[in-house]
Amino acid sequence: MAQLLEYHLDMEPQSRWKYYSALPATKANLLYLQEAGDFYAGPAYYTAREGLASYLLKLTVSGCGLLSYGGKQYRVPPGQFYLIDCQQRQTYRTDPDAGHWHVVWLHFHGPAAAFYYEAFLQQTDGSPMASLPPDASAYELVEKLLDLDPEQSSQREVDLEAASLLTQLLTQCVSAARQPLQRQVPALIEEIRAYLARNYTQKLTLNDLSARFGLSPCYLQRLFKRCIGQSPTDYLIYLRMSRAKELMHTTGLSISEIAYAVGIENLGYFTRQFRQQEGQTPQQYRKQLIMPPDSGGPAERDGIAAE
């Protein structure tokens, strides 16, 4: 992807801007901080960017900003924030109507960064914007990140502390995005989830659910995924695999018998779904189990259990 960076810094003297360098092992395994700042931006503050391997979180303290992202423009007033992927084209600036924009921000990356970003978008239906609750500690967490100093402790300690603070901050942002949605539809989603939990052994399709609950398949799928983080189909598979693991631990049923017991008649399909969730086949998973011979479990019927 082609890179683009244009900016005009219009900041008051009390503004802060810090760069961070994480260890290679940190970058390979944890969330890590790239840059952070506390900007008191004037009316000419402006940035246009594309193609940067980073995620950007900006939280407005006072004043207002304007964000252009994904073909849409958003106002960012106090108490609101945005989370974006800097690989995609974006521009942001001080709102001319406000004339100033006090904003705290950070660039971050790492193996879990995309997960938090996607989880956030699921809650906002694709919008980069959300509001913080009045009691949020997000601003304080950014301040702690800005205060990290490798000269006062080892780089490893700084990396670990940054990863911990980033995890808290991003979790709080995802939760903040979810709260308005939870107030709108919790009863309906809980009813659907409870129905799946009671009937996971049955042949259930998205059309079956939409007919039962009076929603279009597309809307039901989108709404369920926004609230639960999984589609109804994925949640049904999760229930079946969880029950399958329980049966492997507590019974001597064969793998094919367990597949049938959780509502899957095709053993190959069951094996593929189990491997996708657990990273190993049902046979490999069961061989790791150690059970007393009198439990009626795998140790007693090893030949049958392993198939």
The pLDDT, as a whole number, for residue 306 is 36
Q: How many whole angstroms from its chain centre is CA 156?
A: 25
Range 187-216 burial, b when 16+ CB lie within 10 A, else e: ebbeebbeebeeebeeebebeebbeeeebe
**CATH class of this structure's domain 4-183:** mainly beta
Domain ranges of the chain: 4-183, 187-306
pTM to 2 decimal places: 0.69
> Residue 210: helix, strand or coil by DSSP?
helix
Fold agreement (4-183, 187-306): no
In 110-257 the beta strands, taken as DSSP E runs, fall at 129-131
The pLDDT, as a whole number, for residue 55 is 97
**CATH class of this structure's domain 187-306:** mainly alpha
Beta-carbon count within 10 A of 305 CB:
24
Question: Do residues 117 and 83 touch, judged by C-beta distance below 8 A?
Answer: yes
The pLDDT, as a whole number, for residue 186 is 63
> For residues 269 and 70, what is the distance between their CA atoms, to the nearest angstrom?
38
Q: Nearest to residue 223, comparing CAs of 190, 174, 197?
A: 190
Interior angle at CA 60, CA 133 and CA 110, nearest 5:
85
pLDDT tens by residue, the chain, 307 residues:
567 889 999 999 999 999 999 999 999 999 999 999 999 999 999 999 999 999 999 999 999 999 999 999 999 999 899 999 999 999 999 999 999 999 999 999 999 999 999 999 988 888 999 998 877 788 999 999 999 987 878 999 999 999 999 999 999 999 888 755 444 556 888 899 899 999 999 999 999 999 999 989 999 988 888 777 789 999 999 999 999 999 998 899 999 999 999 999 999 999 999 999 888 999 999 988 755 444 454 444 333 333 3
The pLDDT, as a whole number, for residue 264 is 94
The pLDDT, as a whole number, for residue 180 is 52
Q: What's the start-to-end Cα distance of the chain, in Å?
A: 49
